[in-house]
Amino acid sequence: MKQSEFIAKVMPFKDKVFRLAKRLLVSTEEAEDATQELYYKLWKNKEKVSEYKSVEAFAMTMTKNYCLDRLKSKQAGNLRLVHDNYEENNVGLSKRLDDEDSVNKIHEMIKCLPEQQRIIVQLRDVEQYEFEEIGKILNMQPTAIRVALSRARKTLREGLVKFHNYGVS
């Protein structure tokens, strides 16, 4: 496979790879390293990459596995799960502060979800993947993904309602 063909196949989803890595690893630097490592591995195995039906699903699976391995490693003692992908302009200060509090609370609640649910929420709700694509990445049936996503959303919804009703959780 030529370099130009390889670039055309793998570059369109580079941002998705980075966002998943950032979701799992928190640190922008760690996510950049993970993205670079993934692209290096893809380049090294570029002949095999062309055999995959969905290079994007393969790359996302590699990213997930690399990040989870990184989190489990001894070097990852200082890493935690977070997501800072929310920004809105031209909104009143009070509304912006309320929204920021809600987003921060959701981030905290996402950290408390089981690992599989955290990844599914990231892939479905943030990255907008279809259930079939998530199934390929996580090696799960779409029905199981829907159930896990439903449970995660229910947990998040209940926690957010509690937060708004009581002001504190």
Q: Is the pLDDT of residue 77 over 60?
A: no
Report pLDDT for 94.
72
Tokens of 128: 């907008």
Question: Which domain covers residue 168, as residue numbers?
Answer: 92-169
Q: In the prediction, which pLDDT does 72 show?
A: 75
Does 4 reside within a domain?
A: no
Q: What is the pLDDT of residues 145-165, one digit of tens each?
A: 999 999 999 999 888 888 877
Q: Are residues 100 and 72 in the same domain?
A: no
What's the mean pLDDT in 1-27?
Answer: 81
Considering only residues 1 and 24, tell me which one the structure prediction assigns the higher pLDDT: 24
Asked if the structure places residue 84 within a domain, the reply is no
Number of domains in the chain: 2
Confidence of residue 80 (pLDDT cuts 50, 70, 90): very low
Pair (70, 101) in one structural domain: no
**Whole-model pTM?**
0.53
Look at residue 154 in the predicted model and tell me its pLDDT. Answer: 93
Query: What is the 3 state secondary structure string of the chain?
Result: CCHHHHHHHHHHHHHHHHHHHHHHHCCHHHHHHHHHHHHHHHHHCHHHHCCCCCHHHHHHHHHHHHHHHHHHCHHHHHCCCCCCCCCCCCCCHHHHHHHHHHHHHHHHHHHHCCHHHHHHHHHHHHCCCCHHHHHHHHCCCHHHHHHHHHHHHHHHHHHHHHHHHHCCC
Please provide the average confidence, as pLDDT, over all residues in the chain: 80
Per-residue model confidence as pLDDT tens digits over 131-144: 998 999 899 999 99
Verify that 111 and 41 share a domain, yes or no. Answer: no
Interior CA angle at 115 toward 84 and 73, to 5°? Answer: 90
